[in-house]
Amino acid sequence: MDYRIEHDSMGEVKVPADKYWGAQTERSHENFPIGVGLETMPREITRAFGVLKLAAARANHALKPEKMTDEKLAAIEQAATEVMEGKLFAHFPLVVWQTGSGTQSNMNANEVIANRGNEIAGKKLLHPNDDINMSQSSNDTFPTAMHIAAVEAIEEQVLPAVDKLTATLRRLEAENEGVVKSGRTHLQDATPIKFSQEISGWRSSLEKDRQMLLLSLDGLRELALGGTAVGTGLNAPKGFDVKVAQEISNITGRDFRTAENKFHALTSKDELVFAHGALKALAADMMKITNDVRWLASGPRDGLGEIFIPENEPGSSIMPGKVNPTQCEAVTMVAVQVMGNDVAVSMAASQGNFELNVFMPVCIYNFLQSARLLAESIVSFNDRCACGITANREKMAHNLHNSLMLVTALNPYIGYENAAKTAKKAYKENISLKEACVALGFLTAEKFDEVFHPEQMV
């Protein structure tokens, strides 16, 4: 491999000749051989750095044109845009497990954009610190990248996935409006419910989750950029924070604003904790929905068997013909991962010491993993399971009319205690509720038929 010599304040470093990164990136690459190739800094963060470096250059050009010249801006714009578009991802090798401030990933962006910009300019025009990092610090750029990436992950990945499944459930509601089945509480028989009502509960859960995600976005739209090292804004021109937030909004097409209190923005990660709480709520609801689906589809002969779901692949290497609810299982495993990630995000956010949180890479790594896994698993579940759900109406009707909890309809006519005696007699002697009620002398057969209508109990 060919190398070139780069230098930083600590001296010279050999860097692969075909890479745009510089000395500080190489030092990190060598000093943190932890999860290499497996736990690289999320590409959403790399892209966000491209966004904020482009925005910072434009803001500096407007506020400090004598330093950020037209020529420098043009080179930075092209290089930063290439980072945003993913064309330079191969030049961002650093792992999550590095300095807790993300300093080395900030310098990775500075070095790549500077060296690529110099290549574009055809001369040594840009310096990683003096030009690409102008008016910034790692301490305000990394939390800014976190918020940009989090907003984009929720808006581009999670919300569309939720909307897709919600639309499917709304269709299933309409298709099953007249289907009445046995309800269940405590995994025991309960009073009747329409299948469409049961589905509406799933749909409403997703709609509530969507509202919580939208609510959480407001805090994530606040950006730390402009606070520089400790929140005071040292070395940033007046108005830089407002201007750079406007530029980020223009570049992304999303609403961002400068954080009112930069001391808070640098050290606290409460907005990410709050937003991940909404992701956890979505994970909890997806756990519930997919568990319901696999319970209802259990069988095919010895389970509830009240719905049919698509058969996607063989379910056993030893039992021929077995088919399992694998899409449901994938979602439930994702839900478990998201709940575990919530602990990591919360613990990381609690480690804000004095003027800086130094658990930021692990915080955003877990956050973005949760968003990605949820979005992908929800879409997969929708396309390969939910879209194909159909009611087994015969089994639903059988279970409904075999349910002892239909006796609840008799409470107004024979009272709670007599209704309980009726249910217990029917269960013990394996006879119908009607037979038990008549045998006990609580109602005549004619009166029982007059008041007992399970389909009207919904």
Residues annotated catalytic, as ranges? 186, 316
Work out the widest C-alpha separation in the chain, in whole angstroms: 102
Q: What is the bridge-based pairing of β-strands 390-391 and 307-308?
A: antiparallel
Closest CA to 395 of 310, 295, 323, 304: 304
- Backbone φ and ψ for 357, nearest 5 degrees, come out as -90, 130
Cβ atoms within 10 Å, residue 245: 24
Hunting for tokens 């004095």 — which residue is that?
354
CA terminus-to-terminus distance, the chain: 73
